[in-house]
A and B are shown apart, each in its own frame.
Chain A
Amino acid sequence: MLFSLLAVIVLGGIAWLVAPNMPGFFGIILPYAAVLVFLAGFVWRIMNWAKSPVPFRIPTTGGQQRSLDFIKPARLDSPFTKAGTIGRMILEVLLFRSLFRNTKAELKDGPRMVYWSSKWLWIFALIFHYSFLIIFIRHFRLFLGVDVLPFCLEAIDKVDSMLQVGIPRFYMSDALILAGLLFLLCRRLFDYKIRYISLPGDYFPLFLLLGIAGSGVLMRYFMKGDIATVKTFIVNLVSFGPISASGLPPIFFLHLLFISTLLIYFPFSKLMHMGGVFLSPTRNLPNNSRAVHHENPWNPPKKFHTYAAYEDDFRDLMDEAGLPLEITPEEAAARAGAAKE
């Protein structure tokens, strides 16, 4: 945990102290490189997973199968069709369906095992991911470089700032993403089970994201620099005509370096769950392998103890017991005799 925190602090130090003096590298070269690494790395990881086949159809069935007419199937939790499977994936990816099932087990005296509904992780995971998404979309205001925003971006902006407090307008997603991240961090620190399994690779992205969100919040609400200059810089950067980054405030370099780090780190970390969830064979396959053939590309040839070999082993006993035979003991003896001659 400390290692991850330290790593993020060092990164912050570099951004604050070094970056403003090397604006070309930290402002232009690194962000471009980071995006490249992210895109290439992401694609490479997905291709690498996809290279391995799915030999068996192994959905985890979360409900009733489709069988008899009078028994109602669970079309989404145990999908039989492609449409159902897409529905299941949509629920999984957009609403975290499986996490919604979460319970907390507790052993009480008696002994009595009690299961509590436990939706906190689900709620805060949703809050974090959707806040992140909204903030990302909101940043298109900076990327597009137009004065009038497309309607959907404008709408998101309106909703996000509907509390109508503060100047500049306070965005709910800014508070929510911090709340989400802090919950996930506290859970990791204070739930002894989670702390025991946590790796530096679990803390690092949390601290990094806190750094990104925190620096963004600071920049917007507290250390209001020359936003117009920053915006001009970003618009040019995004349209592949970068202008000099010198003179931009350190807090901006901090924000940018954290983001660059996240992009570079992403493909090589657990954050790839974003892509991996789509390739998970327990979720993305229909529960129809009794009805439809599933092909295993490396299916080995059949090798088994055949009935003929079995009958050879037990022919006399089977004959005595009156079990039907392919070859009677007499025939078998005659064949054995013929083979000897």
Chain B
Amino acid sequence: MHFENGEISEEYSRYIREKTLFIFLVFIALILMIIISISLGSVHIGFIEVIKTLLNNSDSRQFELIIWNIRLPQTLTAVVAGAGLAASGAVMQSVLRNPLASPFTLGIAHAAAFGAAFSVMILGTGVMASSLNDALNISNPVITLSFAFFFSMVTACIITYISKIRGSSPEIMVLTGIALGSLFMAGTMLLQFFADDVQLAAMVFWTFGDVARADWKDFYFLSGVTFCLLVYFLANTKNYNAMDMGDETAKGLGVKVEMVRLSAMMAASLATSVIISFIGIISFIGLVAPHIVRRVIGDDQRFLMPASILVGALILLSADIVARLVLLPHVLPVSIFTSFLGAPVFIYLIIKGYRK
């Protein structure tokens, strides 16, 4: 069957350009925010000095130390964690066809936190200390991550299974998330009950997700895994778009729906696990970032995914800057701010009525 060839309308090209422009603007904003983030803190460093230091052209040994050892890893960790959580949220919303899905609301984050805590406390894959920044120093990231991933994957499988037999309506997913979230929180509490003083303090601090605790070694591991997963998500955006049209339509378009869904949930769980293992529970980024993007440029995953990645990075980084500055000289963990931001958005979505 052949139709005569058409042409690409000017309107459509303009519409595509607008979306691309949005992504470009967010990208510029993110670059600026990275420089601001490096600049601000208990010691203020001028923008020019920041750029000079990053280009290895600084005169001040002190600034060099602050930037390379503290600010840069913290900033980049916030960028990677925000990007990974936002992408996980966007992909879960799509494959479960559910606007309220995200690593946090489905309980996957809690499961990963339990797994990591279990590994560190029982198997000794990390060293605990009763201070905020060094609450947890993971000495064996592979085993810790394996446990976090195992429990988050169990949760993801339960959710995927429930969505298969009961449908993935928002109500069912949220209730499932509450059930699984409380189950794993109880598990973590059980560990805490039997923990000694230092371990207990470490675990409490650790559940305050905080990007400041990642050093370069953590960052390489975290960013390596996250980067691969982001590439995977971006490569699959057309499949996710097809699944937005319903399972049967997607199958008719040649998409292996069950396989794409399961592997997307696995990849999202892995991203969540690695982020949570290193920096603790960060709530709501996976929900908020994709929703902001959806409001602006719609659900087309080809644009939604890259834009969510950038917006997620931007939000977590901004939240972290605020957390660092708001109560100087105290530096607050960023997760407190993402919850302050996320809970109202979640309630707004419920009141306003979610689409889909």
A and B pair up: no
